[in-house]
Structure 1
Amino acid sequence: MSYIANLLRIIAIFVGIFCFIFTPMTIAQETQGANSSLVMSPQSTPKIITQNANVEIVGLVEEGHLWFYLDDYATNQPLKGSDLEVRVEAFGKTYPTKQIGIGVYMVQEATFAVPHQYKLFFIIKSHHLDERIQGLLNVRKVQEAQKDALIPEQPWGNTAVYLLIFSVIVLLLLTQFTKPGKIARKLRKPSAGPLSIAFLALMLSVGHVVAHSEHEEGGDVESFSGAIADKPKAFPDGSVYLPKSSQHLIGIQTRIVKPGIVKIGVKLSGHVQANPNYAGRVQAAQAGRVDVVGKTLPHVGEWVEQNQLLIRISSIAARFEQGNQQAQLATLENALQLSRARLARLKKLSGAVPKKTIDEAASEVKSLKGRYDAVSQSLVLRESLYAPISGFITKATVLPGQIVEAREILFEIMNPERLQVEALAYEGFQSLQIEQAEVVVDENNSIPLISLGKGTVLRGHALPLLFDVDMKKPPLSVGQVVNVVITTSKKVRGLQIPSDSLVKNRLGKDIIWLHTGAELFEPIEVKWQTIDDESIVITSAVPEKSRIVTKHASRLLQVR
């Protein structure tokens, strides 16, 4: 009997310890599970969701009145200018609706306060729609909705409490059937510890259960569940619950894309430069002083015609060179005077002097006269500078009376209607065949380019590509850095979507969002390639007929 009693005491001790440890843990897990199920399926607010291939309807009941959102199924855009009627089978009537916002309607004449499963028929008519769609609206009692939403099952918690109570009863019975003379000694022995442990475990476990029950009963069940139902929520798997009201506020748009064959593109960095056939420079051939032609000097932004006189440069020379030129000029002047006097004497003796001698004297006078004129002009030489092409002056660095050096650039002239773009193609893009190219100006505008060819010598590990701008008066400036989008001959199969659809998640991976439910969005990792500046192609697998978020996809990442 003593052996059996000790064995029962040991079993009771382990049962008590087990219940003490696992009862609060089990209750905590059940509470967390209940809250998770509440978030995933908030059912406290009566709601109807129905859709077909053209429209999607999400309705809510507030204060007994039904109001709902009417959207295009494929694009998720609110439908405007539609006439709606709602037929309630339980009432046997068809009710008109009132539009209270863009794509938001309300049924005013019918109330849905009585718990019932209402079968509704929506009749939608517009200039391009004639739809009839049905759905079920389940209005339940508040107590049932609260119970389903918040009260979880507690199989392990109740079992643990029952086992703990059983172990205490066993210890009490063993103590009761022990002889009276031994009770005091047994209570003083260490073996009396199991009874104290069992009582302590019972009190703590029951305390956990009572506290858990008070937590369930003391909270504002209706307001809590309603807040969860109306607020955006991100789930552990990455999906996002976003009510229709928030979708309308953000402007979420979607698109159903069919796979196809598309040509991939490449985005390169480039810069704008002047077309060398329609640009020129004006330089001084020698050092001199700037002389103004007319009243003013040509200025930046002024249009000039080809061969138009711009300025004159009065030549200046060093003192040594100028002295040599003056000495040479004096020598030539003296020789010229002597030659002229000799020619005059010979002409007087024309009958006695051979004609050949007279001709030689005349030729010498002419030669000296030419040399004299050349040297005299070099002392006061004025060089005239003309515009090499027609265009706008883009650079002017002269002032009246300024001394300029030889080869100094005085003016730069360019025709802005003729520009070029040079882009650099790095390794991996150098062998692609260019079919089309364009410069991206902004989100809505681009400028076509004409390929002129590519270089054969690498420049900084990149191959230069040259393009002509195929537009008169393009909104570009020389030196401006631009993005060049090139369409190549390479083809791939995939889904063509706007580039705004692609976002990076918190782990830095490329994802797109799928609109899997009326108020549910799920992310999916994808592989992609560029088509142009506005589009990409998804080359990885995507579920067929998926609604892909194409606008404000990044806002879904902000939901917590």
Structure 2
Amino acid sequence: MIRLLACLLALLPAPAFAHGGEDHGDGKASAAAAVVAAPRFETASGDFQLVGILDADGHGLTLYLDRYASNEPVAGARLALEADGRPLAVVDTGDGVYRVDDANLAAPGSREIIASIDADGVQDVLLGKLAVVAPAATAPAAGAGAVAGWWSVLGAAAAGLVVGLLLGRLRAPGGAAALAGAALVATAAWQAAPAFAHGGEDHGDGQAVAAPAGAGDAPSRLADASLFVPKPAQRLLGLRTRLTASGDTPRTQVLPGHLLADPNRSGRVQATQEGRIEPVDGAFPHIGQHVEAGEVLAWLVPLAARLETSERQAQLAELDSQIRLAERRLARLQPLAGSVAAGEIDAARTELAGLRERRTAMGSGLAAREALRAPVAGVISHTALVAGQLAEARETLVEIVDPAAWWAEARVFDATLPTRIERAFAETQDGRAFALELRGVGFQRRSQGLPMQFRVVDALAAPAAADARGTAQRLAGLSAGEPLRILVQSREQVRGVRLPRDAVTRGANGEPVVFVQTAAERFVPVRVRFEAVDGVDVVVTSGLAGGERVVTVGAALLAQVR
């Protein structure tokens, strides 16, 4: 009998005890916590869009008023608000943000909102609806069931003690029946014991946990790949939009090129003969130094062979002797001016002057220094001047450029393209753009292409920047040999939507996309195809239609929202 009861107890199910740190589910991911944004309303017209967001503490409403087409904040507007016919006091806090302090707006229910706007001479009335949902009831705690379970376990333990006491009376009359009854009691208590769990682990039930109100007021990417960007975040990112319009744009061809120094305003200093370099006043010019035309940059002391030097010295000695003889002869003839012909005296005087000039010329050629002068005014871009340096004839020692005068060169493989050019632009690797003026095309191919040269006219900048800075400042930072993308516009036309270059960004898979604002706080990425127009704009040939609001400022920041 004892063995039979032991087997029965072993077959009974035991209570389950769980502990934290692992996943006991079936391998399926548990549902993410639901993200709930703060109660809000939005309304828009052809001129304005208005978003109202209820405070997390329910004390009031924050209003964001923007231009519908550009998403630009509307500051200083006269804004009147009504909720279910009840006027609300609106306070302008600046930068297109307005406040309504009214705790009654946080009460559960739906309210009709009427907003009257007067800004910059434009009046409009917008209608919206603010819906506030009552907070969900708090789930009951599981502590009561756990306490009851513990009482069941204690009951099972007590039943076990009773079984132990009865085991001693197995041989007594009715002992087996008593033991069987005790076993049934213990079994019932054991099966009633609960399963215990603790910790924050996932047990695979797949239920979502609701987040508190306001937890979703942050930029996020939704399941359909669109973006939810609250108005406060839009203000921080500085997002701006533009209403699209389809039209014709000149077709553009992109050519590789590089910068050249303007040959009319740049120059080189070369050695005319072999010689030794000496500084001017103990210092050589340095890179970046501004010099004037004709300024002496260094001295070149000619180097002559030893035999040539000896011959010149002998010639100088002979000239010195001839000069002394000529001086004595002239000294004898001058006192005899009345008895000697005047022509003879003049001839002696002329001979002496000629000998002295020959002596001066030969002496200066033997020991004189040659001045190395700047051919143009500008900035030194290269120098190879070193004290004691021996320069070869025709060796380039200094290069001078004008930082406000540049040319660009590209190679074209279509010989007819230069005849069809309407406008041209250049773009550097750092995104700076410049207008170009065609100077000419060569007739001798290099690497199968014809060289085509342009003059850099000016940097492409906003009118305010163009007025505030001179051409030299706008062209600062360029260097000879810098690679360029030269955009050549022909007379052919392509139809599409013209947008700023910064409006097109790259999606997660690297394809070009633009962001279209479909609601006040919702942006949808749209795949597009585009062509470059100049260094500032592009033309979208597919993917967009007219009348859509495309993000033109801040698109790269939206692409980073996850």
TM-score band, normalised by shorter chain: 0.5 to 0.7
Alignment-derived partner of residue 291 in structure 2: 303
In the alignment, structure 1 residue 285 sits paired with structure 2 residue 287: no
User: Which structure shows the higher helix fraction?
Assistant: 1
2:249 to 262, 267, 286: 262
Report the Cα offset of residue 396 of structure 1: 5.5
What secondary structure is seen at the aligned counterpart in 1 of 2:104?
A: coil
Distance 1:73 1:462, change over 3 A: same
Report the Cα offset of residue 113 of structure 1: 4.7
Distance 1:387 1:135, change over 3 A: same
Distance 1:252 1:404, change over 3 A: closer
Alignment-derived partner of residue 521 in structure 2: 519
Which amino acid in 1 is paired with 2:51?
A: V
User: Percent identity of the aligned residues?
Assistant: 27
1:81 to 73, 76, 87: 76
Alignment-derived partner of residue 492 in structure 1: 494
More off after superposition, 75-84 vs 458-467? 458-467
- Structure 2: distance between partners of 1:275 and 1:406: 25
What are the equivalent positions in structure 2 for 1:103-182 lying under 5 Å apart?
A: 103-109=96-102, 111-142=104-135
Report the Cα offset of residue 525 of structure 1: 0.9
In the alignment, structure 1 residue 99 sits paired with structure 2 residue 92: yes
- Structure 2: distance between partners of 1:393 and 1:94: 69
Which amino acid in 1 is paired with 2:476?
A: P
Distance 1:458 1:45, change over 3 A: same
Distance 1:104 1:453, change over 3 A: same
Report the Cα offset of residue 526 of structure 1: 0.6
Which amino acid in 1 is paired with 2:291?
A: W
Report the Cα offset of residue 529 of structure 1: 0.7
- Structure 1: distance between partners of 2:498 and 2:445: 34
RMSD: 4.7
Distance 1:520 1:486, change over 3 A: same
In the alignment, structure 1 residue 431 sits paired with structure 2 residue 417: yes
Tell me, yes or no, if the aligned pair for 2:262 and 2:407 is still in contact at 8 Å: no
- Structure 1: distance between partners of 2:115 and 2:310: 107
Distance 1:400 1:265, change over 3 A: same
Unmatched segments (≥5 aa) in structure 1: 1-24, 147-210, 342-357
Alignment-derived partner of residue 58 in structure 1: 51
Alignment-derived partner of residue 171 in structure 1: none
Which amino acid in 2 is paired with 1:71?
A: D
Unmatched segments (≥5 aa) in structure 2: 1-24, 140-201, 329-343, 459-470
Tell me, yes or no, if the aligned pair for 1:243 and 1:519 is still in contact at 8 Å: yes
Which amino acid in 2 is paired with 1:124?
A: I
Tell me, yes or no, if the aligned pair for 1:299 and 1:393 is still in contact at 8 Å: no
Q: Which string of whole-angstrom CA distances, capped at 9 and with x for unpartnered residues, describes residues 7-35 of structure 1?
A: xxxxxxxxxxxxxxxxxx9xx99x96xx8
Alignment-derived partner of residue 191 in structure 2: none
Alignment-derived partner of residue 511 in structure 2: 509
Which amino acid in 2 is paired with 1:243?
A: P
What secondary structure is seen at the aligned counterpart in 1 of 2:534?
A: coil
Alignment-derived partner of residue 151 in structure 2: none
In the alignment, structure 1 residue 391 sits paired with structure 2 residue 377: yes
Q: Which string of whole-angstrom CA distances, capped at 9 and with x for unpartnered residues, describes residues 277-328 of structure 1?
A: 33333434333456778x567734353444x666665544222334455667
Distance 1:120 1:426, change over 3 A: same
Give the TM-score normalised by the residue count of structure 1: 0.62
Which amino acid in 2 is paired with 1:422?
A: A
Tell me, yes or no, if the aligned pair for 1:121 and 1:132 is still in contact at 8 Å: yes
What are the equivalent positions in structure 2 for 1:533-552 lying under 5 Å apart?
A: 533-552=535-554
- Structure 2: distance between partners of 1:139 and 1:459: 73
1:275 to 233, 256, 262: 262
Alignment-derived partner of residue 42 in structure 2: 49
More off after superposition, 248-257 vs 425-434? 425-434
Which amino acid in 2 is paired with 1:303?
A: V
- Structure 1: distance between partners of 2:397 and 2:519: 69
Report the Cα offset of residue 448 of structure 1: 3.8
2:454 to 467, 478, 485: 467
Which amino acid in 2 is paired with 1:59?
A: G
In the alignment, structure 1 residue 241 sits paired with structure 2 residue 228: yes
Which amino acid in 1 is paired with 2:533?
A: I
More off after superposition, 538-547 vs 506-515? 538-547
Tell me, yes or no, if the aligned pair for 1:269 and 1:484 is still in contact at 8 Å: yes
What secondary structure is seen at the aligned counterpart in 2 of 1:111?
A: helix
Tell me, yes or no, if the aligned pair for 1:496 and 1:535 is still in contact at 8 Å: yes
Distance 1:401 1:487, change over 3 A: closer
In the alignment, structure 1 residue 70 sits paired with structure 2 residue 71: no
- Structure 1: distance between partners of 2:379 and 2:43: 67
- Structure 1: distance between partners of 2:324 and 2:103: 126
In the alignment, structure 1 residue 553 sits paired with structure 2 residue 539: no
Which amino acid in 1 is paired with 2:225?
A: G
Tell me, yes or no, if the aligned pair for 1:238 and 1:523 is still in contact at 8 Å: yes
- Structure 2: distance between partners of 1:331 and 1:229: 105
- Structure 1: distance between partners of 2:480 and 2:266: 14
Report the Cα offset of residue 84 of structure 1: 1.6
Alignment-derived partner of residue 482 in structure 2: 481
In the alignment, structure 1 residue 407 sits paired with structure 2 residue 409: no
Distance 1:83 1:428, change over 3 A: farther
- Structure 2: distance between partners of 1:398 and 1:232: 59
- Structure 2: distance between partners of 1:290 and 1:512: 61
Alignment-derived partner of residue 421 in structure 1: 407
Q: How many residues align?
A: 432
Distance 1:429 1:524, change over 3 A: farther
What secondary structure is seen at the aligned counterpart in 1 of 2:70?
A: coil
Tell me, yes or no, if the aligned pair for 1:270 and 1:421 is still in contact at 8 Å: no
- Structure 2: distance between partners of 1:135 and 1:75: 21
- Structure 2: distance between partners of 1:240 and 1:81: 29
Distance 1:374 1:518, change over 3 A: closer
Report the Cα offset of residue 422 of structure 1: 2.5
What secondary structure is seen at the aligned counterpart in 1 of 2:236?
A: helix
More off after superposition, 518-527 vs 476-485? 476-485
More off after superposition, 64-73 vs 309-318? 309-318
What secondary structure is seen at the aligned counterpart in 2 of 1:554?
A: helix
- Structure 2: distance between partners of 1:292 and 1:69: 68
Which amino acid in 2 is paired with 1:54?
A: D
Alignment-derived partner of residue 168 in structure 2: none
Report the Cα offset of residue 227 of structure 1: 5.4
What secondary structure is seen at the aligned counterpart in 1 of 2:542?
A: coil
Distance 1:229 1:320, change over 3 A: closer
Report the Cα offset of residue 480 of structure 1: 5.9
Tell me, yes or no, if the aligned pair for 1:66 and 1:111 is still in contact at 8 Å: no
